[in-house]
Structure 1
Amino acid sequence: MADDSHLRSRSEQGRRDRRWPEEPQPLAVAVYDNHTHLEVADGDDPLDVATQLERARAAGVRGVVQVGTDVATSIWSAELAAIEPRVLAAVAIHPNDAPELAAAGELEAALETIAELASRPRVRAVGETGLDFFRTGEAGRDSQFASFEAHIDIAKRTGTALQIHDRDAHEAVVETLLRVGAPEKTVFHCFSGDEALARLCAENGWYLSFAGTVSFSNAGRLREALAIAPRELVLVETDAPYLTPTPFRGRPNAPYLIPHTLRSMAETLDVHEDELAASIAANTERVYGSWDLDAAVSE
């Protein structure tokens, strides 16, 4: 197992209820969590990586894409994926970190590391990258754009998927993708747009990945977007330990809770959960390839 000495805890945030939700009824047709952060420890009793992956398997989650957000977590993600058959990796500098790295003169070196990691066989995505106008103000936006465009270039050069972080920046993200050219496989992580953005994604063949937010009672706009999204472009994720789905909103999240999100999506689409799970599993493999360790050499 990769070195986990840097695993982070969010205990200082003092959540109201930090108990792990009970394990759901397993999915009959297995799927993948295409965006999770196993390096972020959470809950009253933080789960180690092996326990998280075993709980996920028992719930019908065949594998995960472990996502880095800086150099350290990207290295850790790549090293974990290299030895763990249930894990593939995504590597990137988070858009909110780009301005600080640029100000320190460290962004270029960080991006060089990301490019090297992205060339490794079990690293199948560059992300999460993109634009975040919620946490970063005007002064940091030039650095965000520069970092985003550099990540797009890395994804295209290495033939990997692109996982996009898009917060309060829909128009700018789309404009950038159209201007510089999106990678063949582009995923809107934790899709947060409306029907209009869903239609734009459909027109361009971009994937929409839905997290637990789609199950929230106040997320009618997201469900409307899901309803018109082409089934062949729909993915599912946790973004764990964040965005825990209903009925456990506000409690710790982990890949084993994917069944709640998928069942909410199936209800919105008025399809059987097995049908949706089979479609999502096929879509995920089309984006990221095989999780089989032995397949990495030939891919």
Structure 2
Amino acid sequence: MVSVKRFIHDEPALFKATAEFVRLFARIDDPVLAVATCEKNINARIAWTLFGTALFQDVSYPEFVTLLRTLNEKFPGEKLWTLPVPKAQDIEDCVETAFGCRSWSMFENVSGIFWSVGLFVRRHLDLRGWLKSRTPEEIWRDLGEIYFMGKGNPRPKVCAAIYRLLAPAPVGLGLDCAPSPKWPPLPLTMGARRYLSILGPASDGFADLEPSQKQTLATDLYVALVQYLMEQSENAEVKKSKVDALTAYVAAHSLQFYLEDGTDDFICRLSTDHCRKCPLRKYCNYAI
């Protein structure tokens, strides 16, 4: 492993190509927000973002979008949290409709997650107001109330939910929280892990790193990539701006798609004309 600073020095062309990959994939929909943003009411957008984040596990991105959309069509908007709650059978039928089977690892937990998110919304009511009154640390704590959001540390689903809610559009909902200098760790997705271990600064031993080292390396890379993109901006104000956690999330969002399975192929292949328009084509051994 080398530091991100050394990586940029040793591989400037690869780093710039990665930044262009980030720019390109910033426009690709997050699988949770692809459905949640279809809601017109902000409370519903927040609630469906929380539900989708808690539910997203052990399934491909396209399959998950199909599932969440099926659930959203069956229980649109406030039906996620209003009483009476749906029967487990009705919720599970949506999973079977989306997947054509009942063998998904999360199948038996879907109803519990649905009901738990509903209870959370009923408890906090005005979700936008709840966000504004909480620091990221307090949001992190509160989201532990939701089933399958995680109880330990670092709670990757909770971290993902926070950035989906607060990061600027189109990678997040662009909502406000109470100011705080402390932010949860940026998501370290499988796509980002693949990039770091295949092309990035840990291509010689990512698996051997401690979790904290992996997180630090990913965060440093996210910040460097977004800082580079901001410095290339024609907007003088953006050019001089410093990267914060929310802007760095753009890189985390984009790198999640690196070699991530899509419907018929990797999402990054399908989004770049089968690699022909991918900035990383020259460097990636998986390019076709």
**Larger % of helix: which?**
2
| TM-score normalized by the length of structure 2 | 0.30
> Which structure dedicates a bigger proportion of its chain to strand?
1
The answer to which structure, 1 or 2, has the higher relative contact order (CA under 8 A, 6+ apart) is 2
Q: Normalising by the residue count of structure 1, what TM-score does the alignment of the two structures yield?
A: 0.29
Which structure has the larger Rg over C-alpha atoms?
Answer: 2
